[in-house]
Amino acid sequence: MNFYKKYKWLAPMQLFIAALLLARMLRTHTIMFAFIPWNLLLTAIPLYLSYRLNKTTDKRMQWAYLATWLLFFPNAMYIITDIFHLKERPDVPQWYDLLILFSAAISGVIMGFLSLQNVELFLRRNIGYKLVPWAVLSFFILCGYGIYLGRYLRWNSWDIIAQPISLLLDVKQDVLHPVRNNQCWMLSGLFGVWLHVLYRYFKKFSYKEPLF
């Protein structure tokens, strides 16, 4: 089963969001929320990487996929913060924009959770069951920190390659001065715990293990 066939059931939500965006653009003659398709594409990257992770048998490639997945995983949750863009605007009811933003956020979270299920499957085979829950919690805390870096410091996942020194200097400041940067760690911790709880609910209503 290839990637498209496995996850084609996600397509209706993407088409629904696209239709909402197209109708909005035709109505307002603006490209407001044009960033949403790009953000949704970024949420699909960790899902694809996690799929490839369980398809390859090359150990080096597996760990490379895992590292790259961790780099892009926060994008799937970052899309939640696009709700910050919600406000009253002319020509379009506020509830309509809420529907667009909320639909995109839900879609991103679902794809992120699906990708994490795939990663869990890999980790259970390679590091053992006992360590997996701690790894998952760590992923979510790092994800919360990634949301902070993206939303407030405006860093992107690819900046680890494009601007590694500047990015690491910002991270260094957060680590060395946690009290001064308490908002950073409050956001990272609270978002991380919230996502972790939400993920546990998600798993209750999904397959215990991804099917390949």
Domain ranges of the chain: 3-204
Each residue's pLDDT expressed in tens, for the chain with a length of 212 residues: 788 889 999 999 999 999 999 999 999 999 889 999 999 999 999 999 999 999 998 999 999 999 999 999 998 899 999 998 899 888 899 999 999 999 999 999 999 999 999 999 999 988 888 899 999 999 999 999 988 888 888 877 777 777 888 888 888 888 878 777 788 889 899 999 999 999 999 988 775 555 44
Length of the chain: 212
Residue 169's contacts (CB-CB under 8 Å, 6 or more residues apart) are none
Cα three-residue angle 28-29-35, rounded to 5 degrees: 90
The rounded distance, in Å, linking the Cα atoms of 190 and 199 is 14
Q: How far apart are CA 82 and CA 73, in angstroms?
A: 16
Is residue 14 within 8 Å of residue 79, measured between CB atoms?
no
